[in-house]
Amino acid sequence: MYRYALAIAVAAIAACSKPSPDAPPPTAPPAADVILHGGPILTMEGDEPTYVEAIAIDEGRIAFAGSLEDAMQLQGNATEVRDLDGRTLMPGFIDGHAHVIQFGSQAIGANLLAPPDGEVNTIDDIVARLKEFADGPDVSRTGWVFGTGYDDSLLGRHPTRHDLDRVSTELPVIVVHISGHFSVMNSAGLATFGIDADTENPEGGIIRREDDGRTPNGVLEELASIPYVMKILNPPAREDKDYFLQRGLELAKSYGYTTAAEGRMLGTANADLMNAAERGLLDIDVIGWQDYTGMDQLEQHYGESYENHYRLGGLKVTLDGSPQGRTAWRTRPYLLPPDGQGEDYAGYPAIPDTEQVRDYLETAYANDWPVKVHANGDAAIDQMLTALRPIVGGYPERSSETILVHGQFLRQDQIPVLKELDVFPSMFPMHTFYWGDWYDTIVGPDLAVQISPMRSLLDSGLHVTSHTDAPVALPNLLQVAWATVNRVSRSGKVMGEGERVSAYEAMKMVTLWGAEEFGEADEKGSITVGKVADLVVLSDDPVAVDPMTINRIQVLETIKDGMTVWTAN
């Protein structure tokens, strides 16, 4: 797996005996570039919270972590000594799974999120937000009026093409569901892509229809949606691509990210990120995961080290859809099926042929590529485990790391199999807040409290990460940590008290264990001598405050490789 060689430059002077009179005078330790002190410095090393008084940074790495007195021995004429003034310093945040390329569309487009992340409560609110965007300067960058984050579980239904025709009958309009697995186009948008009554559903996707059973109503599911969304929100002109990327990176840094993931790359995404990196546009690390439809990119560009803050880190295989959107593939039917589906509806697979899934995983192992597998429903997880078992047996060295992404409906009996097959779970516990109450309706209260079983995973001996999957909601890892610790729904219901974790464990999931997920724990994720100085300054200590206030903590500064890349106004 990916490992950097450590460049450890530390002065460790300990006089244990009287020096010889003929010995040369001791050499002074090298001066550090920066010394930070004066607030809680949470290292994220060890099983319990551990703090140091000060750290020293030299050439972008942690050169010292310990007492302030010893740290000051590294002060030179050019050393910057910074007082944190009581603010908390800890490792920079690493999101286990997100879509950083789409952060730009979230930062630029109409915000269609419900409170507390936005202000949309009705279909009329969606129309109003889109009209505001249509009147702004950024619509010309894609030629589309667009917004992200609407939630049918709170609105009562998906908007339709008729709703979006109220925004414009001339300009194409698209809105993207909060899950990212659905979108809705207006009539002009559908016409742009030739989607009409004669258009058949693609494998792994559905074009929803009006009462005549033929005319598209504007709602697109899964692979009937995702390729169009990726094309529309990835503007063709280089200037506009750069604008979207830079706006997205600013958003990520404002939430303390020092490593971000692009969790599913299609089309030209890898080439675009490589080009941006070569031109120096990335100032935090970005790791890309190539969709299985573009394995040639991995064959040519897979890398274990970052070049200009980017590396293509592995393969992505998607096996099902969204649990809140009821396209996740389950072994039991949904209690409330989507419109047009029967009582036996249990979601559906993205790749029905398990042998094909096995071939993709085999290719990853044979090439020593880490592989992320998107599986939300327990049937999809069963498919992953069935496909993976004979492969792991054929590669006893486990040359490739397999990461389960999301795993919302993971069953208790599947957890030991994850451990047996050395699968790293990257989970989605923010669902406990955003959709906990909705799950009561669609799968029942007993199963709803079992979503994202974080404590069960930790008790099995597995390390685990939590993620935002942004632009699903905002890329706010402190909100994720809050949800992981408290598991409280929008209505205030506790969604499985026995699956709660401590605040320290939750912060490990977005720091050290995040680095471990990506094979980078030797380089990142904790404040340890020799590791890169990826840091975040917070208004409060997340492991010391009332757990219900973790999501009120503010990111004040983001530091990458020892350099400040973002500060709050």
- What is the per-residue pLDDT for 28? 58
Q: What is the pLDDT of residues 236-270, one digit of tens each?
A: 889 999 999 999 999 999 999 999 999 999 989 99
How far is residue 514's CA from residue 195's CA, in Å, rounded to a whole number? 41
Which residue reads 């109003």 in tokens?
128
Q: How far is CA 410 from the centre of its chain?
A: 19
Angle between helical axes of 238-254 and 269-278 (0-180°, round to 10): 80
Q: What is the pLDDT of residues 134-167, one digit of tens each?
A: 999 999 999 999 999 999 988 999 999 999 999 9
Lowest mean pLDDT among 18-22, 107-111, 397-401, 513-517: 18-22
How far is residue 88's CA from residue 343's CA, in Å, rounded to a whole number? 52
* Residue whose C-alpha is closest to residue 281's, from 302, 315, 310: 310
Q: What is the pLDDT of residues 133-143, one digit of tens each?
A: 999 999 999 99
The pTM for the full model equals 0.88
Provide the H-helix boundaries in 279-352: 295-301
Domains of the chain, each with CATH number or no CATH? 113-177+182-224 (3.10.310.70), 238-567 (3.20.20.140)
pLDDT band at 393 (very low <50, low <70, confident <90, very high): confident
Nearby residues of 514 by Cβ (< 8 Å), 6 or more positions away: 93, 94, 95, 96, 259, 465, 525
Q: How far is CA 478 from the centre of its chain?
A: 13
Query: Is 7 a residue whose pLDDT tops 50?
Result: no
